[in-house]
Chains A and B, each alone.
Chain A
Amino acid sequence: GAGVSQTPSNKVTEKGKYVELRCDPISGHTALYWYRQSLGQGPEFLIYFQGTGAADDSGLPNDRFFAVRPEGSVSTLKIQRTERGDSAVYLCASSLAPSTYNEQFFGPGTRLTVL
């Protein structure tokens, strides 16, 4: 079945480098969410899109983090000048519409390691 896919599954980079993480949501899902999960913690909300626009980016930790969804489907999370503290699993989820009652379907995540 066509679930949420994320690429790459693993990304190792060096401190200070730029990375892009990609999310392909379920076809037809208008809402897309990014979360970050650090070791031993639950997913932490970063940003959500309704269509092409970022409806809530209150979870982005600082201006090194940016996300886009130019055509309302695929989304890219961009991290500039990576730091060791950015190491985590980055999860993407999508839902049919941005309602609390619509189930969020998660992808398998991208494990980012910053050396």
Chain B
Amino acid sequence: DQQVKQNSPSLSVQEGRISILNCDYTNSMFDYFLWYKKYPAEGPTFLISISSIKDKNEDGRFTVFLNKSAKHLSLHIVPSQPGDSAVYFCAASALKDNYGQNFVFGPGTRLSVLP
């Protein structure tokens, strides 16, 4: 049973428009969430994170929203650029004395930003 779900395997967006990537989780113990971006033949790279004490975190063009009651988070990219084309993974963890971490990753969403 997948604890972290990304129900859209792929997403295409026009350059300059907003990209919205969604993630749902089932484990109510998760209290820290991250987004990773992965280009082909490279390892994932950290993009942005959010703690469960917040409902929004923003970093430049990237904003992550967390809805704890719905167990849902989303990543907004605006404006989208062709270089944003990659696979995006949502990941979650449950803090264990601040040690870690056994991140649980979703299956990923492939974003294509069309020029």
- Give the docked Cα–Cα distance between A93 and B104 (Å): 14
Per-residue B-contact encoding for A58-79, CB less than 8 Å = 1, 0 else: 1100000000000000000000
| Chain B interface helix/strand/loop/mixed | loop
- The answer on a CB contact under 8 Å between A98 and B99 is yes
Q: Which residue of A lies closest to B41 (CB)?
A: A108
Q: How many contacting A-B pairs (Cβ < 8 A)?
A: 66
Kindly state whether residue A48 has any CB partner on chain B within 8 Å: yes
Q: Count chain A residues whose beta carbon lies closer than 8 angstroms to a beta carbon of B.
A: 28
- Give the docked Cα–Cα distance between A108 and B41 (Å): 6
- Give the docked Cα–Cα distance between A104 and B93 (Å): 13
- The answer on a CB contact under 8 Å between B100 and A99 is yes
- The answer on a CB contact under 8 Å between B43 and A106 is yes
**Contact status of A108 and B89, CB under 8 A, knowing A98-B99, A100-B101:** no
- Give the docked Cα–Cα distance between A42 and B46 (Å): 14
- The answer on a CB contact under 8 Å between B46 and A104 is yes
1-41 of chain B: CB within 8 A of chain A: 4, 6, 9, 32, 36, 41
**Contact status of A104 and B102, CB under 8 A, knowing A42-B89, A42-B91, A42-B108:** no
- The answer on a CB contact under 8 Å between A43 and B44 is yes
Q: Which residues of A contact B102 (CB under 8 A)?
A: 45, 48, 56, 58-59
- The answer on a CB contact under 8 Å between B32 and A100 is yes
- The answer on a CB contact under 8 Å between A91 and B98 is no
Kindly state whether residue A20 has any CB partner on chain B within 8 Å: no
Residues of B bordering A, CB below 8 Å: 4, 6, 9, 32, 36, 41-46, 89, 91, 93, 95, 98-108
Residues of A bordering B, CB below 8 Å: 4, 33, 35, 40-45, 48, 50, 55-56, 58-59, 91, 93, 98-101, 103-109
Given A40-B107, A41-B107, A42-B6, 19 extra CB contacts under 8 A? A4-B43, A33-B101, A42-B108, A43-B89, A44-B105, A45-B103, A48-B102, A56-B102, A91-B43, A98-B99, A98-B100, A100-B99, A104-B103, A105-B45, A106-B45, A107-B43, A108-B42, A108-B43, A109-B43
